[in-house]
């Protein structure tokens, strides 16, 4: 896994978050979007990148979504 | 089928609830009120002589050959202009009529060369037929007619000639150009026998005129005056097969007319429900690529991409490929493999490629080129309505009162449907065009859009929010519809959002560049003008907010009650011929056929039972993610059928780096395309003329593709259709596939896909075509969807907030580049560039507004350097006010342009559909190709080398 790919995925999560801010439960919807459309490799790359670099690069709603994804991480991977 | 002309009933079909019964030559026939005597006679099995009438044109009544006698009526009325009346007694053949007709015919023939035997239309000429029908034996006027004889033929069009000496001035060509095509390129001057047809001004030839070479006039001409060059060269066809055009998502039905193994011409088929007998230059004429000398006909392999290609047998190629795939799977794991399906191939071929990936490779790493064009349509319409497809058939446009065209250029991209739109617009429907560029639809002969909103590229969502703002705040919502059909809470949430001041046209004007007054006018027109239909194209989807824009469009249609009946709806205009089909067939990494998520255990179980393997419940990789994974060293092999990702996908450098990092790139195509520079295996493909199968057009219409000649990619009779190649590859990998015909693949699709349950080749042959869903509830298919309610239950309003793209202009890159296509070329141009269509478009040009051009010292014809933060290229400039200041525009049909070296890797938030339509650029004068272009040219030359066989001693 390269840093590049991780950064791209963080960018993607943030972009998804910005487009879903008007949902009543954005964190859920973002997490569901990632689970539905991303391959396991993309999910683990994303989680690994955040584990290494922290949450600072994520939009607030994306941070909350990350928490949900990390919780589900065991079975998503 | 043998070869005979398609029946012509003389005048167009009339619809009426009232039936009238008349008596023709003693036969009673019942027809809808308003039908002409001529048509009634034809329907009763008779045929009245005629020359100026044709059933796809309005009746004209000029030739006087179709005279009849009607009891109780004086004289001899023209049957093509006389409507039937109840109880009418018609006589079509009496001694008096015979004499009159002979007289008319004599006049025509005296002015016509009598070189029938050597004429290319001999035995296929209406004039000849009618002369025979009226029993002409002698011409009393002598043959000294001098009005037309000996005139110079116009051979400027690459596909057809105009020989005025054979013209009988029936004006069918002129009317076809006006009524069917809507281009108004032809005129007829003078009166009677002195009249003369010409293209454009007197000094114009067909090529220099406004003519778009659709062929409608050639089709309409009853003589050899307008005729295909191929008929002159090859001769009259002797057999014919009905099939479907393989170019765009309109999906026109054609009859391929053959002489031996040679295709003579493609003639639009009147029973085709998408095209109703019309065509465009691509489908009608641009099929020469099928025989082009650059077509590769032998499989080729090489171990490394710096080696020349080595031609091998099919057996060797397939065995090598299978062993490479197995080696890579063992070494790097099954997830290192993937495949890409093509929107140009048939449903059956696409289905097999995704089956090979899911069942053979054992993962879901399958994606399709539809990713780069219409994936947001799938996402947006599924979310809001519940089905990933357009809601209407093309016929529906006949009942539209207001058309809203956004991000689509139908006259170039979907020409035959554009002609149908224009026909309805000329009858009074209103038109709103939302596009950064003044497309041809905005202003053309006899047509002008009521509103053109020239928005800044990238602000679609803002414009649609502002339209919604006007509709909600001015009380124009169809509340009854919304209450009955949609989720009211979601609607209220949405209505509250769009009503905010920050979504008003006035507030957004500085962002969108659209004058608020125009925007308000357009919104009011759409909401109150009657049946409102929305048509959109890649200008909607290829944006960072592509999916949001599709949902904003759906919101607008629901709020105004424009869903679920004829004349309304949300209609994506698909780019390639089988984009809809490729999506339906399970080409996306998260979906099985029929749009069922791979995590859906019930759906998976069906496939697992049929295929006898376990299906991975996790989504696979999409194209850009495959490339990322390849650069990271985790993705090693790819099977690419009928798609040129190096040229069509954004950010060429990213694509080439990904491909270069793989160990086995398999390209299955007609030509050594750009992607093949990085390939290790080349499997020669077959054209649509060489295979059986089905395509699904933009109306969800499944249509047969029929083989008219043997595949050229093998010894005579041993060539392989593309589905056979995939099957052989699967077998070489140890899978037990035994399809003997694509019909068996369709049967499997029908077993596994609820919306295709009632589809089979037998049904398609019987019906001509079927629009899915074809189910027990809708055994004859579904022309219009969501009639009594949405597929998902309640229609879902989704708040779509405008989020500006991260691709911003600045001091270094102050202009916005947007991209599109033109009529004569198709997509990456691999096919059309290899035909005479290049006379209309030999290179990609950059459109620049006069002001921006002047600031940079550029004029039309100059070469300019086009640079973005991703890369740079050069191309020639054309200065035009079609684009707004600050916006430049180009097409991407030629590889030398490398327009995608410039586009960035930004993409749609929901689907990663690339943002082709917005790139910040700078342009400066330049005097030669860019370094990348030169380097690329050298690479291309090297990569295309084929090892020459040692000459035998
Ligand atoms: S080819 Fe089409 S556009 Fe050209 S003159 Fe004929 S009908 Fe008109
Ligand atoms: S060119 Fe053909 S269609 Fe046109 S007026 Fe002459 S004969 Fe009729
Ligand atoms: S409109 Fe499309 S489908 Fe029809 S002939 Fe032209 S390219 Fe083919
Ligand atoms: S066909 Fe009726 S007047 Fe020509």
pLDDT for B875: 87
Kindly tell me if the per-residue pLDDT of A75 is higher than 70. Answer: no
The answer to whether B887 and B437 are in contact (CB under 8 A) is: yes
Nearest to B618 among A1, A5, A40 (CB): A40
Quick check: B391 contacting A, CB < 8 Å?
A: no
Could you tell which of B186, B282, B444 is best to mutate to test the pocket of ligand 1, judged by most ligand atoms within 8 Å of the CB?
B186
Of B130, B179, B221, best ligand 2 pocket probe by most atoms within 8 Å of the beta carbon: B221
The verdict on domain B386-407+427-570 having CATH code 3.40.50.620 is no
Confidence of residue B823 (pLDDT cuts 50, 70, 90): low
Q: How far apart are CA B733 and CA B318, in angstroms?
A: 9
Above 60 in pLDDT, residue A1?
Answer: no
Q: Which residues of A touch B545 (CB under 8 A)?
A: 19
CA dihedral B163, B165, B170, B175 (to 10 degrees): 30
Cα–Cα dist B110/B149, whole Å:
10
Q: Do B629 and A5 touch (CB under 8 A)?
A: yes
- Cβ-Cβ contacts under 8 Å for B932 (sequence gap 6 or more): B871, B872, B873, B898, B901
Residue B90 and residue B25 in contact, taking contact as beta carbons nearer than 8 Å? yes
> Does B544 touch chain A if contact means CB atoms closer than 8 Å?
yes
> Which of B:558-597 have CB within 8 Å of A?
589-590, 597
Per-residue model confidence (pLDDT) at position B905: 76
**Alpha-carbon span B133 to B125, nearest angstrom:** 12
Say yes or no: B44 contacts chain A, CB-CB below 8 A. Answer: no
In angstroms, what separates the C-alpha of B887 from chain A's closest C-alpha?
A: 25
Q: What is the pLDDT of residue B822?
A: 59
**Closest CA of chain B from A30, distance in Å:** 10
Distance of CA B156 to the CA centre of its chain: 26
Instruction: Report yes or no: B629 at the A interface, CB cutoff 8 Å.
Output: yes
Tell me what the pLDDT averaged over chain B comes to.
Answer: 88
Residue B34 has pLDDT above 70, yes or no: yes
Q: Where is B262: in which H helix or E strand?
A: strand B262-268
Examine the pLDDT at B882 and tell me if it is beyond 80: yes
Least CA distance to A9: which residue of chain B? B625
Question: Residue ranges of the domains in chain B?
Answer: 19-93, 118-235, 314-373+579-759, 386-407+427-570, 815-942
Predicted local distance difference test score (pLDDT) of residue B643 = 86
CB of B389 closer than 8 Å to CB of B397: no
Residue-number span of the structural domain to which A24 is assigned: 3-75
Report the candidate in B711, B669, B671, B675 with the shortest Cα–Cα distance to residue B693.
B711
Collect all residues of chain A within an 8 Å Cβ-Cβ radius of residue B910: 16, 19, 33, 37
* Mean pLDDT for the stretch of residues B713-717: 78
- Per DSSP, helices labelled H in B300-455 are 314-332, 347-355, 375-384, 410-413, 415-426
Q: Residues of chain A whose C-beta is under 8 A from some C-beta in B?
A: 1-2, 4-5, 8, 12, 15-16, 18-19, 21-24, 33, 36-42, 76
CA of B141 to the centre of ligand 4 (A): 22
Q: How confident is the model at residue A73 (pLDDT cuts 50, 70, 90)?
A: low
CB contact under 8 A, B910 and A39: no
Across residues B499-519, what is the average pLDDT?
94
Q: Assess if CATH 2.60.40.10 describes domain B19-93.
A: no
Copy the structure tokens of residue B176: 């076809």
CATH class of segment(s) B314-373+579-759: alpha beta
Q: What integer pLDDT is reported at residue B797 of this predicted model?
A: 93
Q: The sheet that has B300-301: what strands, in order across it?
A: B310-311, B300-301, B681-684, B664-669, B637-641, B337-341, B366-368
- pLDDT (tens digit per residue) in B352-361: 999 999 999 9
Residues of B in contact with A24 (CB under 8 A): 493
Q: What is the reported pLDDT for B13?
A: 92
**Contact A62/A19 with Cβ under 8 angstroms?**
no
pLDDT at B827: 57
Closest CA to B166 of B209, B204, B214, B126: B126
**CA-CA-CA-CA dihedral for B732, B737, B740, B746, to nearest 10:** -130
- Under DSSP, the state recorded for B87 is T
For ligand 1, mutation pick of B156, B160, B177 (most atoms within 8 Å of CB): B177
Q: Is B632 on the interface with A (CB under 8 A)?
A: yes
pLDDT in tens, B274-288: 999 999 998 999 887
User: Does B335 lie at the interface with A, CB-CB under 8 angstroms?
Assistant: yes
CA of B33 to the centre of ligand 4 (A): 20
Which of the residues B332, B336, B465, B625 would you substitute to probe the A interface, choosing the one with the greatest number of A C-beta atoms within 10 Å? B625
Q: Give CA–CA dist B240/B258, Å, rounded.
A: 6
Ligand 3 touching residue B461 (CB < 6 A):
no
Would the CB atoms of A41 and B589 count as touching at under 8 Å? Answer: no
Cis peptide before B38 (omega within 30 of 0): no
- pLDDT at residue B396 greater than cutoff 90: yes
Beta strands in chain A (DSSP E): none
The pocket around ligand 1, CB under 6 angstroms, is made up of B 176-177, 181, 183, 185-186, 199, 211-217
Q: What is the atom index within ligand 1 of the atom nearest the CA of B177?
A: 7
CA distances from B478 to B194, B482, B557, B695, B884 (A): 58, 6, 10, 37, 35
β-pair partners for B339: B366, B639
Chain-centroid distance of CA B660 in Å reads: 33
Chain B nearest-CA distance from A56, in A, is 19
Q: Give the distance from CA B862 to its chain's centroid.
A: 32
Task: Tell me, using a 6 A CB cutoff, whether residue B279 lines ligand 3.
Answer: yes
Q: Which residue of B620, B632, B799 is in closest CB contact with A22?
A: B799
For ligand 3, the distance from its centroid to the CA atom of residue B206, given in whole angstroms, is 21
Using the structure block, give the residue that is written with the tokens 């000459």.
B951
State pLDDT tens for residues B832-842: 767 777 777 77
CA distances from B762 to B319, B759, B778, B782 (A): 35, 8, 17, 18
Residue of B nearest to A12 (CA): B909
- Residues of chain B neighbouring A6 (CB-CB closer than 8 A): none
- Res A77: pLDDT: 38
Q: Which of B680, B623, B709, B843 is nearest to B308 (CA)?
A: B680
Question: What is the rounded distance in angstroms from the CA atom of residue B48 to the CA atom of residue B939?
Answer: 65
Point out the least confidently predicted range of A33-37, B142-146, B318-322, B403-407. B142-146
* Domain count within chain A: 1
**Hey, what are B355's tokens?**
């089956």
pLDDT score of B952? 42
CA B117 to chain centre: 39
Q: Which protein residue's CA is at the shortest distance from atom 8 of ligand 3?
A: B283
Asked whether B48 and B98 are in contact (CB, 8 A), the reply is no
| Cβ-nearest to B632 among A2, A18, A24 | A2
Cα separation, B744 vs B592, in Å, equals 19
B181-190 pLDDT per residue, tens: 999 999 888 7
Nearest CA to ligand 2 atom 2: B221
The CATH number of the domain covering residues in B118-235: 3.30.70.20
What percentage of chain B has pLDDT greater than the value 90?
A: 56
Using a CB-CB cut-off of 8 Å, the residues of chain B touching A15 are: 544, 803, 909
Percentages helix, strand, coil for chain A (3-state, rounded to 5) are 80, 0, 20
The H or E element spanning position B522 is helix B516-528
Dihedral, CA atoms, B11, B13, B15, B17, nearest 10 degrees?
A: 90
For chain B, the residue count is 953
Average pLDDT over residues B708-725: 87
Q: What is the mean pLDDT of residues A31-51?
A: 90
pLDDT tens column, B770-796:
999 999 989 999 998 898 888 888 889
Ligand 3 pocket member B250 (CB < 6 A): yes
> What are the tens digits of pLDDT across the range B914-928?
788 888 899 999 877
Looking at the complex, report in whole angstroms how far the Cα of residue A5 sits from the nearest Cα belonging to chain B. Answer: 6
Question: In sequence order, which ranges of B695-836 are alpha helices (DSSP H)?
Answer: 722-732, 742-752, 761-767
- CB atoms closer than 10 angstroms to residue B385: 24
What pLDDT does B951 receive?
Answer: 44
Structure-model confidence comparison of residues B539 and B585, the more confident one: B585
The residue whose CA has the least distance to atom 6 of ligand 3 is: B280
What pLDDT was estimated at residue B94? 92
The mean pLDDT of B557-579, rounded to a whole number, is 90
Question: Mean pLDDT throughout B515-521?
Answer: 95
Count of CB atoms situated within 10 Å of the CB of B164: 19
Residue B572 and residue B536: Cα distance in Å, rounded?
5
pLDDT for residue A3: 55
> Predicted confidence band at B825 (pLDDT cuts at 50, 70, 90)?
low
Query: Which chain A residue has the Cα nearest residue B547?
Result: A19
Please state, in angstroms and rounded to a whole number, the distance separating the CA atoms of residues B532 and B526: 6
CATH of domain B815-942: 2.40.40.20
Mean pLDDT of B407-433: 92
Q: Does B825 touch chain A (CB under 8 A)?
A: no
Confidence at B895, pLDDT banded by 50, 70, 90: low
pLDDT at B121 > cutoff 50: yes
CA gap B594, B749 in Å, rounded:
9
Nearest to A5 among B547, B589, B632 (CB): B632
Apex CA A71: angle with CA A68 and CA A73, to 5°?
Answer: 105
Say how many CB pairs under 8 Å bridge A and B: 62
Task: Tell me which of B239-248, B466-475, B892-901 is least confident.
Answer: B892-901
Is any ligand 3 atom within 6 A of the Cβ of residue B51?
no
Q: Residue B793 phi/psi, 5° resolution? A: 110, -105
Ligand 2 pocket residues where CB is under 6 Å: B 167-173, 197, 220-223, 225-226
The percentage of residues in chain B with a pLDDT greater than 70, rounded to a whole number, is 95
Say yes or no for a CB contact (<8 Å) between B625 and A16: no
Residue B589's pLDDT is what? Answer: 93
Question: For A71-75, B85-89, B489-493, B814-818, which range has the lowest pLDDT when averaged over its residues?
Answer: A71-75
Q: Which of B657, B909, B912 has the highest number of chain A CBs within 10 A, making it the mutation to test binding with A?
A: B909
Per-residue confidence (pLDDT) for residue B810, from 0 to 100? 82
Is the per-residue pLDDT at B522 higher than 60? Answer: yes
Query: CA of A5: which chain B residue's CA is closest?
Result: B628
When pLDDT is cut at 50, 70 and 90, the band that residue A76 belongs to is very low
The answer to which of B187-196, B410-419, B727-736, B874-883 has the lowest mean pLDDT is B187-196
Cβ distance B628 to A4 less than 8 Å, yes or no, reads: yes
Residue B824's pLDDT is 56
| Contact at CB, A39 and B625, closer than 8 angstroms | yes
User: pLDDT value at position B6?
Assistant: 86
Asked if pLDDT for residue B618 goes beyond 70, the answer is yes
Task: Provide CB contacts within 8 A for B855, sequence distance 6+.
Answer: none
Give CB contacts under 8 A, 24+ apart, made by B513-516: B513/B454, B513/B455, B513/B456, B513/B459, B513/B884, B514/B453, B514/B454, B514/B455, B514/B463, B514/B466, B516/B466
């Amino acid at each position: 896994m390269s840093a590049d790919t991780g950064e791209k995925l963080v960018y993607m999560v943030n972009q998804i978050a910005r487009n879903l801010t008007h949902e009543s439960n954005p964190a859920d919807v973002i997490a569901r979007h990632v689970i539905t459309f991303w391959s396991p490799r993309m999910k683990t790359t994303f989680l690994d990148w955040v584990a290494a670099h922290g949450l600072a690069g994520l939009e607030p709603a994306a941070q909350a979504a990350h928490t949900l994804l990390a919780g589900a991480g065991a079975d998503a991977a | 089928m043998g070869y005979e002309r398609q029946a012509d009933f003389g005048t167009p079909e009339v619809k009426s609830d009232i039936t009238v019964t008349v008596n023709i030559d003693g036969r009673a026939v019942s027809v809808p009120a308003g039908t002409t005597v001529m048509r009634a006679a034809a329907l009763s099995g008779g045929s009245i002589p005629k020359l100026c009438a044709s059933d796809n044109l309005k009746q004209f009544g000029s030739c006087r050959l179709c005279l009849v006698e009607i009891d109780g009526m004086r004289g001899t009325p023209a049957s093509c202009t006389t409507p039937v009346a109840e109880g009418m007694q018609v006589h079509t053949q009496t001694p008096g009529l015979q004499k009159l007709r002979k007289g008319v015919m004599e006049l025509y023939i005296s002015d016509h060369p009598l070189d029938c035997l050597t004429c290319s239309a001999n035995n296929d000429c209406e004039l000849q037929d009618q002369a025979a029908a009226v029993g002409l034996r002698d011409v009393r006027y002598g043959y000294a007619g001098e009005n037309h004889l000996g005139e110079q033929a116009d051979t400027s069009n690459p596909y057809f000639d105009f020989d005025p000496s054979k013209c009988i001035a029936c004006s069918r060509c002129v009317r076809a150009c006006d009524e069917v095509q809507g281009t108004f390129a032809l005129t007829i001057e003078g009166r009677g026998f002195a009249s003369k047809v010409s293209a454009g001004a007197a000094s114009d030839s067909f090529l220099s005129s406004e003519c778009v070479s659709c062929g409608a006039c050639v089709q309409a001409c009853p003589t050899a005056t307008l005729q295909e060059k191929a008929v002159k060269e090859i001769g009259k066809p002797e057999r014919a097969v009905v099939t479907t055009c393989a170019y765009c998502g309109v999906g026109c039905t054609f009859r391929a007319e053959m002489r031996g193994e040679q295709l003579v011409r493609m003639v639009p088929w009147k029973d085709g429900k998408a095209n109703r007998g019309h065509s465009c230059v691509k489908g009608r004429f641009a099929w020469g690529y099928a025989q082009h000398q650059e077509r590769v006909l032998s499989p080729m392999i090489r171990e490394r991409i710096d080696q020349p290609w080595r031609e091998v047998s099919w057996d060797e190629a397939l065995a090598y490929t299978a062993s490479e795939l197995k080696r890579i799977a063992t070494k790097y794991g099954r997830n290192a493999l993937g495949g890409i399906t093509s929107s140009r191939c048939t449903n059956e071929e696409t289905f097999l490629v995704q089956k090979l990936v899911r069942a053979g490779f054992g993962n879901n790493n399958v994606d399709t080129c539809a990713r780069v064009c219409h994936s947001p349509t799938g996402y947006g319409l599924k979310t809001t309505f519940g089905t990933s497809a357009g809601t209407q058939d093309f016929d529906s446009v006949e009942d539209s009162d207001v058309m809203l065209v956004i991000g689509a250029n139908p006259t170039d991209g979907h020409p035959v449907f554009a002609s149908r739109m224009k026909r309805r617009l000329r009858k009074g429907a209103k038109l709103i065009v939302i596009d950064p560029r003044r497309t041809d639809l905005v202003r053309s002969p006899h047509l002008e859009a009521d509103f053109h909103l020239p928005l800044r590229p990238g602000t679609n969502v803002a414009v649609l929010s502002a339209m919604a703002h006007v509709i909600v705040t001015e009380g124009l919502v169809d509340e009854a519809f919304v209450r009955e059909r949609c989720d009211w809470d979601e609607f209220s949430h949405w209505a509250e959002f769009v009503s905010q001041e920050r979504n008003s046209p006035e507030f957004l004007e500085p962002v969108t560049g659209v004058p608020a007054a125009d925007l308000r006018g357009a919104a009011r027109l759409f909401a109150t003008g009657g049946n409102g239909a929305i048509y959109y194209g890649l200008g909607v989807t290829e944006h960072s907010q592509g999916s949001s824009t599709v949902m904003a469009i759906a919101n607008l249609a629901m709020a105004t009650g424009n869903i679920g009946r004829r004349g309304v709806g949300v209609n994506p205009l698909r780019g390639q011929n089988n984009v809809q089909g490729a999506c339906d067939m399970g080409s996306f990494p998260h979906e099985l056929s029929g749009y069922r998520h791979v995590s859906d255990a019930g759906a998976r179980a069906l496939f697992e039972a049929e295929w006898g393997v376990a299906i991975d419940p996790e989504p696979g990789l999409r194209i850009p993610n495959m490339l990322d994974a390849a650069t990271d060293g985790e993705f090693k092999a790819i099977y690419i059928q009928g798609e040129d990702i190096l040229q069509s996908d954004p950010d060429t450098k990213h694509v080439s780096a990904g491909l270069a990092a793989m160990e086995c790139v398999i390209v299955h195509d007609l030509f050594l395309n750009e992607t093949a520079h990085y390939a290790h295996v080349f499997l020669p493909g077959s054209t649509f003329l060489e295979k059986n199968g089905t395509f699904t057009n933009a109306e969800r219409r499944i249509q047969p593709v029929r083989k008219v000649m043997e595949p050229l990619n093998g010894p005579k009779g041993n060539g392989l259709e593309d589905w056979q190649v995939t099957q052989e590859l699967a077998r070489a990998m140890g899978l037990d596939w035994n399809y003997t015909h694509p019909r068996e693949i369709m049967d499997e699709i029908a077993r596994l896909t609820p919306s295709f349950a009632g589809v089979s080749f037998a049904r398609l042959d019987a019906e001509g075509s079927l629009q899915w869903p074809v189910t027990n509830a809708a055994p004859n298919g579904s022309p219009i969807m969501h009639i009594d309610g949405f597929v998902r239950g309640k229609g879902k309003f989704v708040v779509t907030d405008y989020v500006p793209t991260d691709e911003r202009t600045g001091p270094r890159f102050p202009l916005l580049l947007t991209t599109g296509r033109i009529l004569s070329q198709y997509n990456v141009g691999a096919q059309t560039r290899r035909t005479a269509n290049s006379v209309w478009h030999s290179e990609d040009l950059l459109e620049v507004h006069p002001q921006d051009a002047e600031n940079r010292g550029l004029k039309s014809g100059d070469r300019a350097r086009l640079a973005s933060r991703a890369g740079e290229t050069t191309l020639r400039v054309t200065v035009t006010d079609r684009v707004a200041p600050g916006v430049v525009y180009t097409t991407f049909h030629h590889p030398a342009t490398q327009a995608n070296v410039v586009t960035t890797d930004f993409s749609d938030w929901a689907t990663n559909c690339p943002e082709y339509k917005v790139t910040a650029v700078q342009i400066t004068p330049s005097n030669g190709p860019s370094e990348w272009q030169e380097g690329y040219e050298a690479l291309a030359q090297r990569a295309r080398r084929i090892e020459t066989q040692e000459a035998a001693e």
